[in-house]
Every structure is written in C-alpha cells, then in structure tokens.
Chain A
Amino acid sequence: MLKTFPTGGVHPPENKLTAGIPIEYLPVPEKVVIPMSQHIGAPANPLVAKGDNVKTGQLIAEGKGFVSANIHSPVSGKVSKIDTAADSSGLKQPAVFIDVEGDEWVEGIDRGKELVRDIKLSSEEIVKKCFESGIVGMGGATFPSHIKLNIPSGKKCDVLIINGVECEPYLTSDHRLMLEKGEEILVGVSILMKALKVEKAMIGIENNKPDAISHLTTLAASFAGISVHPLKVKYPQGAEKQLVKALVKREVPSGRLPIDVGTVVHNAGTAFAVYEAVQKNKPLIERVVTVSGKSLQKPGNYMVRIGTPLSWLLEAAGGIPADTGKIINGGPMMGKAVSNTDAPVVKGMSGIILIPASEAFREVISPCIRCAKCVSVCPLHLEPYLLMTLTEKGMFERAEAEKITDCMECGSCSYTCPAGRPLLDYIRLGKSTVIRLARQKVLK
C-alpha cells in the first residue's frame, strides 16, 4: 500500500505532457521587469535608481520587515526606470525595469557545472545565506525560506520533509529538476538538514514519476539520513499539511504550522535553489517554468531568468495557439488565469498552462443538490457548500466558527461539484473577509 493522506482529495487527469522533455536554457531577453513583490509579505525596497548599471546577480532590492525577501538582478544592463508594472492579473505592482546589455555576472558566483558536496557554512550562516540570496518557496506559495529555517524557541524539528509531489496536473518543473539535478537537490537537502539540525529527511514523490523515484533513491544511498518515499497519486498531496500527514502520519492542527508537529516542509525546487545559493553563491535569479498545453507547438520545461516577459517565453514555446481559451499561471487546479501576457516571470511561477477554448469553460451554475461530494473531497474536513452559502449571505462570524480560514484553496470542491457551483470563488472571498474583519477587531 502506498502512503497518502487519508481524507478527501481528487484525482484530475494528469496531463503531464512535458514529463519527458529535458530542461532547456533560454537566452536572456532584451528587457526584463522585476516586480518588487515576488514573495509573501512586504514588498522589497529598490536599492538602484534610474540609469544605474547592474550586473547579473547584483542585489537590487532589499527585503524589509520580518516576512520579506531580497531581489537580485537576473541580467546585466541599465535600469531604465522604476515604476509600476502590471502583473499577470493586470494589477499594478512596483517594479524595476532593466534594459539588458550583455550578460556580465557579479564576481564570486560559481557558474561551473561541477557538483560541490562539502558544506562549509555553519547552520546560522546557511540561514543568513538563504535570506541574502532571496530564496523563497519555489512551489508557488513563495514564503521566504529563511523564516522556515529559523525554528521558533520552544519548538523542535525532528524531520525535514522535501516536497517532490508536484500533484498539479500539467506541471513537470520539479519532476525534471529531480531527474536532471538530482545530486544538487540532495546536497541542497543536506544543507537544509544542517541548517535545521535534523538527522532525517524524507522526500515524498508521487508514484506517477517512477523515473524520479528510482533516480533519487539510487543517489540518496550515498547521502546520510535522506530517504525517498513513493506516494499514491492524489491531489492536493503537495499541500504542507497533507504531505506531513502522508509521510509521517502527524496531523497539523487547525491554525498551526508543520513545525508544531516537529516537521519543516521545503519544496524540491527550493532545495535546488538553496544548493545554488550556498554552494555556488548564486542568488535566486532564474527558475524552471513548465510551459504546457495540448495545442502548444513546443511545450517544454524552460530555465528562464526572473523578469522575462511571459509573451517572450510563450514565443519560445511556439507562440500562443489560435484555439487558446485560457492561459493559467501555475497549475490548472490552483493557478490563476493570466489576463496580461506582458507580465514577467516571477520566483513563484512554476508553470504556464494554455488551455484550449474547448476545455476552458465553466459549468452552468445550478442549485446545490446536497450530495455532499464537496464535503467528502475536502482534505481539511470543511463543509464547502456551507461556507459558500454563509459567505453569500454575509454570515462571516458563523463562517469563522466553521473554520473558513483553514481552507487552503485547493479547489477540490469546485472541481467535484456536479452542480457547477463556484464554491472556491465564494470561499476565497469569505476567507479574505473573515481575515480582514479579524484584523479590524484586533486594531480596535
């Protein structure tokens, strides 16, 4: 019996079209736009001004505040302006615009391909390096990684969990990274283990990636304390709480974090970024983006610099097919539709999915038939149909009591609803309203 989480979950068609396509390094574009808010938390403060010359890997914005991250220039060239730029949902964010000139790197960055296994830095130095290098969670949540490496006093971590699940359909960026950069990821895991001072690390990979499982299992034999665990294919296994439950059978209580049950979860992509930062002194300036879609000419896994315009990336993948109905930033389950293809690639962008118009439509909304399918698929034991109604009626106190804030917005309820009800749309609205009201209460 393969391990998995016990309650809820769905199994959408996997559509991993790009699983067999190696990572392709794309050239540097002519112009890049670097948003100052590529992570959860306060936007970074730009350190450069218009007309400044920057080098690849140079720090251009500083993370201010407890939850924030540094941002480095992914290219070399001249800062053309500091202004607002529309992100993939069309909303304006402060950003630094750079005109690319050549590709001159900051000194001290090791660009060689050889593996560096010896970890020279101490635990504290590793955490500091992660902050300096602007490492954030690469799975999409973009939570600054150094915070997760700082274990709060009074709490203890005994096992590090590495998320190689990639449960979203279509996405294959972590899959390819595990296949092609397996050793680097394992060194990254060892670095994270050293930073957290734990002896044990578990890598969870869903069983639809047998090549990655066998590859990493073979490699992990020479790394102390790291084990690879195949998991049953089920969405949303990549969610922190579900993965912890699946691998170590510990339940993270409502409103708490994995550290409260002695675990810390990091993404496989993050482990690679940590390896590059710590062993190669290379900040987070590029990432693998899966560009996929059934009618796309050249789908693939592309290593691109942060700030590359989506339109440029899509051009490299053969252009937007004529039958495209929807472009999604992220996976089809949790991703957000893109309304602006001039938006740049950001740290948390794991994939761009182009869905043909024949598949990109919403069901006709009909009344709830009380079948309770949404209740049975909710991995967090919530009652989505009730949360939607409470939000519609504006009963936010009751919604709070029904734990609407526990919802991680995986969308299993909307996916499974036979009446086509926009459950998640309303739950998300209710959740943000409840959080806002709670904040107002605290301020009062």
Chain B
Amino acid sequence: MSSTILTTIICLSLLAFLSAVILYFVAQKFKVYEDPRIDEVQALLPAANCGGCGFAGCRNLAEAIVNSDSFEGLNCPVGGAAVMEEIATILERTAPVSDPKVAVLKCKGSPEHRPRTSVYDGAADCRIVNSLYIGETDCSYGCLGYGDCVKACTFDAIHIDALTGLPLISDEKCTSCGACVRACPRNLIELRKKAKKDRKIYVACSNCDKGGPARKACRVACIGCGKCQKVCSFDAISIVNNLAYIDAAKCTFCRKCVGECPTNAIIEINFPPAKPKAKSEAEAVQA
C-alpha cells in the first residue's frame, strides 16, 4: 500500500521535473522579445478601444508609439494632453502639443424652426433616410434625427433631445474620438478646439443653398449674407457655397458676429447669460 503511494509520488515528480526541463528549453528557443514599455504605455491609455486615434485599439496605438521615434500622427484624443505627457515621460521624449477638441453639431433645425414637410416611417437609420430622400423637412443638409451619432458614441456623450429632435452633445463626456463625425451621413458634426470654460461660437448650420430656399426650409439657416464676415475684425469668418464658417484658430470669442446674424444661425454657448449687461459695459467703456 505505502509502496504504491511512494512509486506514484516518485513517478510524478520525475515527470514534473522532465516537463520542467523541456518547457525551459522550449521557452528559451521560442522566446519573443517585447518592449516592456508597450505594456506601460498601454496601462496609461484609457482602454476605451474607440478607434479615435486611427488604430484598431489602445494596444495598437501603444505599440505604434513605442516603435516610432516621435509622436507624429500619434495621439490619443480621449486621454488628451495629460495622458500624452505621462507617456512622454516614460519614453523620455517631449510631449506633443495638441489642443483638446469637442464635437459640435452644425445644425439647429428643431421642428419649430424647420417645419416638417413629409413623414418618414421606414427603418430608423440616418444613412438609410439620407440615401432615400431629402428627409422629413425641406433642408437637404440638416440633421435627420435618427441618431446614428448616438449609436456610434461609445462614451454615452450624445443623446437625442426630445424637444428639438436633435442630438445633444455633452462637453464633459465627449472625448473627441470622432466616431460621430464618421457616422453622420450628412457630415454635420465637427471637432472644434475646446476653449476656456467650454465656450463655443460656431455657425450651427450646414445649408449650402442660396439664401431664399435655405430660409424657406429653415428659419435659422445660414443664408450666406456675409454680415458676420464684415463685422469680424480677426478675419476668422469665411463664406463658401452660401455658408459661413468660423475658423476656431482665429476666433477670439468677441461675439460681434453672434448679434449680427439675421437668422441667429451663429450660436454662443457657455458665455455669461446677461448679454445686454455686457453690451452696456462695452458702451460704458467706449463712452
């Protein structure tokens, strides 16, 4: 009885030792060297695997960063400057300069501004509606409201506003990964430079029609009148195809264009609410 147990133990120990020796040599033979910094860099990345950097996932970006000499073309928009700086410290390089961005919707055609002219009852998907016809309103450029951007957002940053029927983008949650930009079949979402206190001024319209038809389709459409361009002292506004565009790099948030726009197509967000007061202050300074 006891000899059986003893034999078993000895046999198994021998087998274990033999396997250990074989495994040791196999491990030596098939060893793959991997830069340990890849793991470190990956640990710093947000692990969202959103694809905002252009790679399939965070691991691929980490590999690309470690294997490349510079940060050129390599940036994690989700982690932002903070994460890139930490990565730079590990790799002993200088961190790239990148402005934080945020997604904005270039359409404000809620039902009160943009009357419905037809009813769509097909599959609820913006791409399908866009390929079928103009949409439920007379604007062939505006938001369709079926939420392809909502489905594309992995950060829960976009929701359809029940009142306006338009997507509402949360500044806190948006990581500027760009998934919504790619998802929108009408190219209505733009990644704009994030300013202090999340302030934003932009033309919330994408209608390239001439003034008349644009205005007819939507009361808050940009009609390309050029008033904002004239009033801007910083040459930040350009008008192409009857549509104004504010260059975020040149805009100084002076807000002159906002009041000038006859259709209220230019919107300001996160500015102090008391606008008349600000005006009177400016007048006081002038006086």
Q: B125–A429 contact, CB under 8 A? A: yes
Q: Find chain B residues with CB under 8 A from A90 CB.
A: 118, 133-135, 138, 140
Q: Is there an interface contact between B134 and A336, defined as CB atoms closer than 8 Å? A: no
Q: Mark A415-433, 1 if CB is under 8 A from B, else 0.
A: 0000000100110110010
Closest chain A residue, CB of each to CB of B140:
A91
Q: How near does chain A come to B119, taking the closest CB pair, in angstroms?
A: 9
Known: A339-B117, A339-B118. A91 touches B134 (CB 8 A): yes
Contact between A92 and B140 (Cβ–Cβ < 8 Å)? Answer: yes
Q: Is B239 an interface residue (CB 8 A)?
A: no
Bound CA span A367–B131, Å: 24
Q: Mark B4-35, 1 if CB is under 8 A from A, else 0.
A: 00000000000000000000000000000000
- A362–B140 touching, CB < 8 Å: no
How far apart are B21's CB and chain A's nearest CB, in angstroms?
Answer: 46
Q: Which of B117, B121, B128, B140 contacts A428 (CB 8 A)?
A: B128
Specify which chain B residues have a CB less than 8 angstroms from the CB of A89 in the assembled complex.
132-134
B134 touches A429 (CB 8 A): no
B36 at the interface (CB under 8 A from A): no
Nearest Cβ in chain A — how far from B221, in angstroms? 15
Residues of A within 8 A of B135 (CB): 90
- Within the assembled complex, what's the spacing in Å between the Cα atoms of A90 and B127? 16
B123 on the interface (CB 8 Å rule)? yes
A424 to B126, CA, bound (A): 15
Query: In whole angstroms, how far apart are the Cα atoms of A92 and B135 in the complex?
Result: 13
B133 contacts A432, C-beta separation under 8 Å = no
Distance from B159 Cβ to chain A, minimum over Cβ atoms (Å): 21
Chain B nearest Cβ from A399, distance in angstroms: 14
- Asked if B276 is at the interface (CB within 8 A of a chain A CB), the reply is no
Q: Which residues 2-33 of A sit at the B interface, judged by CB distance below 8 A?
A: none
B121, B131, B133, B134: the one contacting A362 at CB < 8 Å is: B121
Chain B contact residues, majority secondary structure: loop
| A86 touches B (CB below 8 Å) | yes
Complex CA–CA separation, A153 to B121 (angstroms) = 47
* Chain B 120-148 residues near chain A, CB threshold 8 A: 121-123, 125, 127-128, 131-135, 138, 140
Report the minimal beta-carbon distance from B283 to chain A, rounded to whole angstroms: 45
Partner of A429 from the list B118, B128, B138 (CB cut-off 8 Å) is: B128
| In contact, A426 and B138 (Cβ under 8 angstroms) | no
**With the chains together, A29 CA to B43 CA distance in Å?**
72
Q: Provide the bound-state CA to CA distance between A90 and B213, in Å.
A: 13
Is the interface on chain B under 10, 10 to 19, 20 to 34, or 35 or more residues?
10 to 19
How far does the alpha carbon of A361 sit from the alpha carbon of B122 in the complex, in Å? 9
A92 and B134 CA atoms in complex are apart in Å by 9
| Docked pose: A340 CA to B138 CA in angstroms | 9
List residues 180-200 of chain A with CB under 8 A from any CB of chain B: none
Closest to B118 in A: A339
- Is A337 engaged at the interface, CB distance under 8 Å to the other chain? yes
Nearest CB of chain A from residue B185's CB, rounded to whole Å: 10
Min CB–CB distance A338 → chain B (angstroms): 9
Minimal Cβ-Cβ distance residue in A for B133: A89
Q: Which residues of A contact B128 (CB under 8 A)?
A: 422, 425-426, 428-429
Nearest to A422 among chain B residues (CB) is B123
- What CA separation (Å) do A365 and B132 show in the bound complex? 19
Within A336-351, the residues touching B (CB, 8 Å) are 336-337, 339-340
Which residues 85-105 of B sit at the A interface, judged by CB distance below 8 A? Answer: none
Cβ of A298 to closest chain B Cβ, rounded Å: 25
Q: Given the complex, which residues of A lie within 8 Å of B131, measured CB to CB?
A: 428-429, 432
Report A67-109 CB contacts with B as 1/0, cut-off 8 Å: 0000000000000000000100111100000000000000000
Instruction: Give A422 to B121 CA distance when docked, in angstroms.
Output: 10
The answer to whether B140 and A336 touch across the interface, beta carbons within 8 angstroms, is no
Q: How far is the CB of B152 from chain A (nearest CB, A)?
A: 10
In the complex formed, the residue of B with least CB distance to A423 is B123
- Chain B residue numbers with a CB within 8 Å of A362 are 121-122
B131-171 interface with A by 8 A CB criterion: 131-135, 138, 140
A417 to chain B, nearest CB (A): 12
Shortest distance between the CB of B224 and any CB in chain A (Å): 16
Alpha-carbon gap, A432 to B133, bound state (A): 15
> CA A373 – CA B208 in complex, angstroms?
45
Instruction: Report the Cα distance A75→B103, complex, angstroms.
Output: 51
19 extra interchain contacts, Cβ-Cβ under 8 A, other than A90-B135, A361-B121? A89-B133, A90-B133, A90-B140, A91-B133, A337-B118, A337-B132, A339-B118, A339-B133, A362-B121, A365-B123, A422-B122, A422-B128, A425-B122, A425-B123, A425-B128, A426-B123, A426-B125, A426-B128, A428-B131
28 pairs, CB–CB < 8 Å, chain A vs chain B = A86-B134, A89-B132, A89-B133, A90-B118, A90-B133, A90-B134, A91-B133, A91-B134, A91-B140, A92-B140, A336-B132, A337-B133, A339-B133, A339-B134, A362-B122, A422-B122, A422-B123, A425-B125, A425-B128, A426-B123, A426-B125, A426-B128, A428-B128, A428-B131, A429-B125, A429-B127, A429-B128, A432-B131
Interface positions of A (Cβ within 8 A of B): 86, 89-92, 336-337, 339-340, 361-362, 365, 422, 425-426, 428-429, 432
